[in-house]
Chain A
Amino acid sequence: QSALTQPASVSGSPGQSITISCTGTSSDVGGYKYVSWYQQRPGKAPKLMIYEVSNRPSGLSNRFSGSKSGNTASLTISGLQAEDEADYYCSSYTGSSTVFGTGTRVTVL
């Protein structure tokens, strides 16, 4: 199973919105509603941000939102803040396994 494709980096100024894409195939992203997004700050464990394409865990900021169209899922961060600077990974169920994305470094300018 090949990794899902994400842009290597995305940047934005404080207050702006950014979107990170996650492209797979009909065998993973396009075939299931089980797409998740994780935030990983330097030296820390990943943290679940979005599950099942667009659901936020309890207590998570509503500045984070997820969507999917065809074989591509997206994570949007609105009202970008300095604390959002981190690596972000998508993942998808594939019917029998899980595959992660290549990861995106978000920089707040």
Chain B
Amino acid sequence: DTAVSQTPKYLVTQMGNDKSIKCEQNLGHDTMYWYKQDSKKFLKIMFSYNNKELIINETVPNRFSPKSPDKAHLNLHINSLELGDSAVYFCASSQGTSGVTDTQYFGPGTRLTVL
């Protein structure tokens, strides 16, 4: 039983293209996240979303946009891809936002390569 799943696992595309990464969690969690992990393995928050609030890291370019059709899904859309977008993107979810209940469960990651 996959708790947090992402598709695709690998994504290779050309500069300037638009692409999406899908994320689904079957844990019944209220909060979902997108992280970017660069070549130096630094895990940086991009977005956090629950059914009430979207929190955006202000350093994320507006070419990136999260879309949540329902509580179990948080997809990531990227417009006009650039070379610097190459990284591993992790989706995560947590039950709540305080205490140990906000322990995050991560998806397997999507390795994006922009050529």
A binds B: no
- Residues of A that sit less than 8 Å from B by CB: none
